[in-house]
Structure 1
């Protein structure tokens, strides 16, 4: 008796591309005002395209802001050859193989962010093989997710512009507004947040983000000052790794505390969740892709925590749709030029596309902004 091979397909080619995405204007958050970073003028995006002998293709993405893009590309180029010949359905096995190929530089940070592009591409390919949107492959709890906009609320923007952008976003179907805080003059923060609340009204969800720039005493004072403004959450009031400090704020104030976007491993998220926080904000590219993000989701779900993934809405809308509790997805239009498709947004929600996989294809503009690429074939 002949036993059929369980192998469904083989990876025959991998192409990686480094794309420099320019921003219309340089943006500043609290890290710039404290002198720790320069204004952000571009985003380095890492794409992975994986092809198989059956003719399937998956597209994956990772990214870096301000620094690290060339490093991600270099690491991805070094470890990519281990993909050749593998069955693309064996995603967990392949993740481990990629990790061990570069294990000497660690299991978090830049190394897993490079792996993330391959991992996302494999999940995109797997969903395409099934003919399903990624969320449906994972098991969706909903076909749309609450969404809020961040890109209109940076500290470099005059308050008049912030108010106009907030009004425009709500009119265009965005469900909530987040603005940046952490100005050296805390009175400025309070005035800007109060102005936005008055402009959009009490019914529109409002969030703020301090980008890790308060110390513990300042965070205590600012959280107390913001309590009357009915905020959905206060994000990153403290250093990303001050788990105990965030937990204490969560216990002290009614306004929920959100953090997690800067963490780059499942282990770090597990420590944060054990410490105690209200809303977890994992980032799939930063933790190593969808495989590792699903582990973080499981940890958060076990504690009945709210979920609000950071950035890259094209990936996170699928993951948020598969989370048991009603989550949020962050809306940034920055990646729009990189893809041919657009996500539908209406009535405060971001809707899943019926297209298989992630539902996106790279645009000609993404190809034009490519600054480095590399292809390997079996």
Structure 2
């Protein structure tokens, strides 16, 4: 039975504030840190699990506060009953809904319970779920933000490929549309036609602009064009996907399985990009993955590669995982990368351990129950 839960609100500083199209349109400020919510859970027979959720720019304190309120409902429960516990926690905070911040707070618990379950079985999480592969194609995003000068952009892209990463994604959505094309041209010329290349507009185009830019980008042979429109514009994404040869990718900003289902039902995405911490954890991700598989969609989970590597390895169709090195200071372990792929760790569970540095970045912490 669960006897102890520890919650930690951690602020991870970024070395350089990053900007994408949302910053250039004035909708957001540059991002200088990531707020993370860690949940550590222990049982009376000595088993433990760790999970996390996160937010960018705002929401970290809210996630921590909600998790702190509902965490006591886990004490005395069987940690194997993960689906039932997810539902119990949702109903504990039912008045604040079943998506967004409320379920993002629950994701940390859910992921910790799956981590514990895999550890109890002595298996990596991917193997517990039923892996289709031991490694997954990976691409880098963190070197391609709009604040990065084009010379550095090209250098970052080359370094990623030289470091064993399989593809490169760069941000687009610059007020000068020609600048987007110049940056794409520079990267494509540097990498050649054989390296997979993606572009991400971060929801900042309207429908006419997305059509024009999508057509202008066709010759780059992109693996996908990401978030060309508002995340909730399912009809607009569907119309765009129908008129472009370039696959359309979206989904990372959605906060529930139900919201993703609207995209899937509308035919709005060739590539679905769910984020397990954003949609409520692994339990919800698995439901969404089943829907995506039924529609024969490609899968490319957003961010949090430490979690998504396992989930992508268990998806039937060959997926992609997004490589971000931002979270490296938080964990003792490193994901192994080579030959364009990210390898599933052989360690049980998620295979992650918090560093002492992560403890020093903790802003708030609370414990419920007593650690065995």
**Global fold match (TM > 0.5):** yes
- 2-structure distance, mates of 1:152, 1:130: 37
- 1-structure distance, mates of 2:203, 2:321: 20
What root-mean-square deviation, in Å, do the aligned CA atoms of Structure 1 and Structure 2 show? 0.5
Match of 2:287 in 1: 295
2:8 corresponds to which of 8, 17, 24: 17
- 1-structure distance, mates of 2:190, 2:313: 30
- 1-structure distance, mates of 2:70, 2:185: 49
Measured after TM superposition, the shift of residue 173 of structure 1 is 0.1
- 1-structure distance, mates of 2:214, 2:193: 18
Match of 1:54 in 2: 45
Q: Deviations over 1:221-274 (max 9, x none)?
A: 000000011000000000000001111111111100000000101101111100
**Number of residue pairs the alignment of both structures matches:** 369
- 1-structure distance, mates of 2:212, 2:97: 38
- 2-structure distance, mates of 1:264, 1:238: 17
- 1-structure distance, mates of 2:289, 2:50: 22
Structure 1 position 100 matched with structure 2 position 91: yes
List gaps (5 residues or longer) in structure 1. Answer: 1-9
1:135 corresponds to which of 119, 123, 126: 126
- 1-structure distance, mates of 2:320, 2:223: 11
Match of 1:190 in 2: 181
Q: How does 1:179-328 map to 2 (within 5 A)?
A: 179-276=170-267, 277-328=269-320
What secondary structure, in the 3-state scheme, does the structure 2 residue paired with 1:357 have?
Answer: coil
Measured after TM superposition, the shift of residue 192 of structure 1 is 0.3
- 2-structure distance, mates of 1:26, 1:59: 28
- 1-structure distance, mates of 2:156, 2:53: 27
- 2-structure distance, mates of 1:12, 1:240: 40
1:372 corresponds to which of 352, 364, 367: 364
2:155 corresponds to which of 148, 164, 174: 164
What secondary structure, in the 3-state scheme, does the structure 1 residue paired with 2:249 have?
Answer: strand
- 2-structure distance, mates of 1:78, 1:162: 44
Q: Deviations over 1:42-77 (max 9, x none)?
A: 000110000000101100010000000000000000
List gaps (5 residues or longer) in structure 2. Answer: none
Measured after TM superposition, the shift of residue 376 of structure 1 is 0.5
What secondary structure, in the 3-state scheme, does the structure 2 residue paired with 1:188 have?
Answer: helix
Measured after TM superposition, the shift of residue 281 of structure 1 is 0.1
What secondary structure, in the 3-state scheme, does the structure 2 residue paired with 1:285 have?
Answer: helix
Measured after TM superposition, the shift of residue 177 of structure 1 is 0.1
Match of 2:69 in 1: 78
1:118 corresponds to which of 102, 109, 112: 109
Structure 1 position 360 matched with structure 2 position 352: yes
What secondary structure, in the 3-state scheme, does the structure 1 residue paired with 2:217 have?
Answer: helix
- 1-structure distance, mates of 2:329, 2:63: 21
What secondary structure, in the 3-state scheme, does the structure 2 residue paired with 1:22 have?
Answer: strand
Measured after TM superposition, the shift of residue 134 of structure 1 is 0.1
Q: Deviations over 1:296-318 (max 9, x none)?
A: 10000000000000000000000
Q: Deviations over 1:166-206 (max 9, x none)?
A: 10010000000000000011000010011100011100000
- 2-structure distance, mates of 1:78, 1:185: 47
- 2-structure distance, mates of 1:283, 1:375: 27
- 2-structure distance, mates of 1:272, 1:295: 15
- 2-structure distance, mates of 1:328, 1:244: 25
Structure 1 position 334 matched with structure 2 position 334: no
